[in-house]
Amino acid sequence: MKVQQKQKKMNKVTEFERLLESFKEDYVKFTEKGNKAAATRARKALQEIRNLAKDTRDEISNSKREMVS
């Protein structure tokens, strides 16, 4: 596997971690402090996590197909 491919995959993991941390912070602000703007940011982070997860899932499936071929 090329170094760039490995780095790209690790960047996805880092992005997941960043988005999850952002979600956690905003979720706490909303649930504990009642900050309505934080609720919007938390939902946005969840949507980004969802999209990133879908893209990553598709990439994994495509890579798996290429390995079999």
User: Averaged in consecutive runs of 10 residues, what is the pLDDT profile of the chain (69 residues)?
Assistant: 71 94 98 98 98 95 84
Within a domain: 38: yes
DSSP state of 35: -
pLDDT at residue 1, as a whole number: 55
The residue segments making up the domain with residue 47 are 17-54
Overall domain count for the chain = 1
Within a domain: 67: no
The alpha carbons of the chain give a radius of gyration, in whole angstroms, of 16
The pTM for the full model equals: 0.82
pLDDT at residue 7, as a whole number: 77
Element (H, E) at 28: helix 3-33
User: Cβ neighbours of residue 48 under 8 Å, at least 6 residues apart?
Assistant: 19
- Residue 19, judged by CB atoms within 10 A of its CB (0-12, 13-18, 19+), counts as buried
**How many Cβ atoms from other residues are within 10 Å of residue 26's Cβ?**
21
Within a domain: 21: yes
